[in-house]
Each structure stands twice: as C-alpha cells, then as structure tokens.
C-alpha cells in the first residue's frame, strides 16, 4: 500500500516534536525548488542538504525522514502529472488567513533555497522563469497582516495559484526526469 504524504498540520507537528525549527510548507517549498532547479526526480540527494538547512546539519530523525520521503515522492509525482495537480503544502482554508499567508511565505523561501541548491546560473532561464523568481522574492518579503475578509481571501487564493503555476513553469523548463535524461544523448568531448 502506497503511503500518502502527510498534511501540513501533521508534518509541522512532527517536525516540532523532533525540534526541527521549520514547518511543512518550507520543506515542501525546498523540495519543489530543488526539483524545479534541476535536481533529477530519481535523485535521493535531498536528505543531507535538507538536514543542513533545517536541522543544523544533524541527521533527520527516522520518523520524520519517513514522512519527508512520502512528501518528496508525492511531490515528484505531482510535478510529472500533465493536469497540473501540484498542491502546495499549506494550512487548510479553515486556518486564520495570516497563518496561511505566513506559511506561503515560508514555502516561497524554501523554494528559493532549494532552487538555489541546483540552479545558480539564471542566464539561460526564460524571461517567464526569471519573472516568476523575481515575483517570489517580492512575495517572500511581504510582512503586513491581512484582514479576515473576502477580498483578502481572494487575493491570497490568487497569489497561491500564481505561486503553484510558477513552480510548475520552473519545473517544466529546468526540471529533470529519468525519461528526459535517457532521451537526451550524452555528448563526449
């Protein structure tokens, strides 16, 4: 039986129980950033950089690693789907709007970190990817609290959708799957 990835609240609680000072949104953002920055989908080289980033270089405890592996595998699968099924790991809609907004900022900061692990040279990126990364930077700097009203809800929904689609844009341009690696002929110099 395939294990499903944990929800935001479950994973954030597990991280807290193991004294890992981040939330599920940031870790999901790191995964999406690594994969969108060019880390091959079949790579399992995410554990050490993640431990360095969120656990002061200490090994990730085994119960957390199991849940993170499920999240990583689900993220890979969602990025490969052709029907744009990527779902950001954020608090559900019943959570206060500012909690959801802060989690989105954590997700974006994680994405930027993970992306930077695998994509340092942006000169070959399309203008759309460059614009998305600039927008991510601007969104990650927002720190005003949002009112609990319908207009703010709509605005947050639109930003989440933009971030989700932009992540998939980056992955579609720079990400690597095993199939892509096999069909790309290797040049010998």
pLDDT tens profile 67-80? 999 999 999 999 99
Residues above pLDDT 90, as percent of the chain: 68
Residues above pLDDT 70, as percent of the chain: 90
d(CA 66, CA 127): 37
Place of tokens 């990817």: 129
Enclosing domain of residue 138: 8-175
Residue 2 lies in a domain: no
The mean of the pLDDT values for the chain is 87
pLDDT surpassing 50 at residue 185:
no
pLDDT band with cut points at 50, 70 and 90 for residue 52:
very high
Residue 182 lies in a domain: no
Cα–Cα distances in angstroms (integers) from residue 107 to residues 23, 114, 158, 160, 179, in the given order: 9, 10, 15, 10, 28
Q: Who's near 36: CB < 8 A, 6+ residues apart?
A: 79, 111, 114, 115, 119, 167, 170, 171, 174, 175
pLDDT surpassing 60 at residue 189:
no
pLDDT surpassing 80 at residue 66:
yes
**What CATH code is carried by the domain that includes residue 79?**
1.20.120.740
- Label residue 43 exposed, middle or buried (CB < 10 Å: 0-12, 13-18, 19+): middle
pLDDT surpassing 80 at residue 175:
yes
pLDDT surpassing 70 at residue 2:
no
Count of the separate structural domains present in the chain: 1
Q: Who's near 113: CB < 8 A, 6+ residues apart?
A: 29, 30, 33, 53
pLDDT surpassing 60 at residue 184:
no
> Token digits for 156?
């947050």
Mean pLDDT value of segment 98-119: 94
Residue 188 lies in a domain: no
Residue 46 lies in a domain: yes
């Amino acid at each position: 039986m395939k294990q499903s990835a944990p929800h935001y609240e479950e994973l954030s609680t597990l991280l807290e129980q193991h004294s890992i000072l981040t939330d599920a949104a940031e870790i999901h953002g790191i995964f999406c950033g690594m994969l969108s920055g060019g880390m091959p989908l079949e790579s399992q080289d995410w554990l050490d950089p993640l431990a360095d980033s969120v656990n002061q270089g200490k090994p990730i405890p085994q119960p957390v690693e199991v849940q993170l592996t499920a999240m990583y595998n689900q993220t890979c699968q969602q990025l490969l789907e052709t029907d744009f099924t990527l779902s950001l790991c954020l608090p559900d809609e019943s959570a206060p709007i500012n909690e959801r907004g802060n989690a989105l900022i954590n997700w974006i900061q994680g994405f930027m970190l993970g992306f930077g692990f695998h994509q340092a040279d942006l000169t070959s990126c399309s203008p759309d990817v460059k614009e998305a990364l600039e927008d991510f930077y601007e969104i990650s700097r927002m720190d005003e609290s949002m009112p609990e009203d319908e207009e703010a809800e709509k605005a947050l929904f639109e930003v989440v959708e933009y971030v989700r689609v932009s992540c998939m844009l980056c992955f579609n341009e720079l990400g690597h799957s095993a199939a892509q690696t096999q069909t790309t002929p290797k040049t010998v110099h």
